[in-house]
Amino acid sequence: MSLSTAKKGEMNALCLKFRMDLIELLHSIQTGHPGGSLSVCEILTALYFEKAKVDPKNPQWPERDRIVLTKGHAAPMLYRVLAEKGFFPVEEMKTLRQLNSHLQGHPCALETPGVELSTGPLGIGLAAAVGMCVGLKLSNIDATVYAIMGDGELDEGTVWEACMSAAKFKTDNLVAILDYNHVQLDGTSDEIMPMGDVNAKFASFGFEVFNCDGHDVDAICEAIDKAKTVKGKPSVIIAETIKGKGISFMEGKNAWHGRAINDEEYKLAMAELRGDK
């Protein structure tokens, strides 16, 4: 079912706020990963604010859905969304990447409420998510595991080993989501490691494949609804996105994977997000 116009407006306003806060914060701390954080904004917002069953008051609730940010470098956006959801005070965002903060540069499940799995090394999240799926089935818990990957991450062979296991164990409680922005750290994914037909690849590994616009919260929610109806096999949603989405001079540029934002760039980015003429 489609989101109401009011709900869509609410979600878009949230995403704009998250983008502005992210730029503000990454500029102030002079570090972080803007590109992949801006890219995954709507995916995280759709999950935490519409589709996933989570309880910020009880992060370890056994019946919860598990959201694994396997592209862990997008931690700043994950933290911003978790804070808004109530897992910890928004005020704590200021401590991002500082010594002794529980908001480290990459997500740490032992430190941060709401973080399901410690990630950062690419290629581990999907395998862990498949394990969670099998565990939930063995425990008769009806919950979904969402695993959000980057397209550069697909270069890791462990991703495809995890896919084979997911098919073998018929993990229909797995919804993998690919943040398909076609760019990684050092260049485009086609330059670094061409993946060919990603839809066909996942399908041949036993997945049911869905496609959507990864910057349209409504379309993401619809794809999740469809994925959750699949029985007997895992699903993947290929969400078409833009790295650096929302800031014209960052969009599609691998240079903005992990670069500090200078004062001039900060002013330009904020003016653009505010819609200044």
Ligand X SMILES: Cc1ncc(C[n+]2csc(CCOP(=O)(O)OP(=O)(O)O)c2C)c(N)n1
Using CB under 6 A as the criterion, which residues of the chain lie in contact with ligand X when the complex forms? 35-36, 39, 71, 73, 120-123, 150-153, 156, 179, 181, 183-185, 243, 257
| Burial status of residue 92 (CB atoms within 10 A of its CB: 0-12, 13-18, 19 or more) | middle
Nearest residue (CB) to ligand X, 114 versus 152: 152
Nearest residue (CB) to Mg ion, 51 versus 73: 73
Residues 169-198: x/- map of binding to Mg ion (CB under 5 A)?
------------x-xx--------------
Out of Mg ion, ligand X, none, what residue 35 binds, judged by CB under 5 to 8 A for its kind, is ligand X
Shortest Å, Cβ 258 to ligand X: 7
Q: What are phi and psi of 95, to 5 degrees?
A: -90, 5
Nearest residue (CB) to Mg ion, 64 versus 73: 73
Out of Mg ion, ligand X, none, what residue 118 binds, judged by CB under 5 to 8 A for its kind, is none
Nearest residue (CB) to Mg ion, 37 versus 171: 37
Task: Report which residue's Cβ sits closest to ligand X.
Answer: 150
Out of Mg ion, ligand X, none, what residue 9 binds, judged by CB under 5 to 8 A for its kind, is none
Shortest Å, Cβ 152 to Mg ion: 5
Shortest Å, Cβ 190 to ligand X: 12
Nearest residue (CB) to Mg ion, 104 versus 184: 184
Q: How far apart are CA 56 and CA 49, in angstroms?
A: 12
Nearest residue (CB) to ligand X, 34 versus 114: 34
Shortest Å, Cβ 149 to ligand X: 7
**Segment interacting with Mg ion, rule: CB under 5 A, options 85-93, 146-154, 205-213, 261-269:** 146-154
Q: Is 35 in the site for Mg ion (CB under 5 A)?
A: no
The CA-CA-CA angle for residues 239, 147, 87, to 5°, reads 105
- DSSP letter string over the chain? -PPPHHHHHHHHHHHHHHHHHHHHHHHHHT-S-HHHHHHTHHHHHHIIIII----TT-TT-TTS-EEEESSGGGHHHHHHHHHHHTSS-GGGGGGTT-TT-SS-SS--TTTSTT--S---STT-HHHHHHHHHHHHHHTT----EEEEEETGGGGSHHHHHHHHHHHHTT-TTEEEEEEE-SB-SSSBHHHH-----HHHHHHHTT-EEEEEETT-HHHHHHHHHHHTT--SS-EEEEEE--TTTT-TTTTT-GGGSSPPP-HHHHHHHHHHHHT--
Shortest Å, Cβ 275 to Mg ion: 27
Shortest Å, Cβ 123 to Mg ion: 14
Nearest residue (CB) to Mg ion, 107 versus 114: 107
Note the residues at the interface with Mg ion (CB under 5 A): 150-152, 181, 183-184
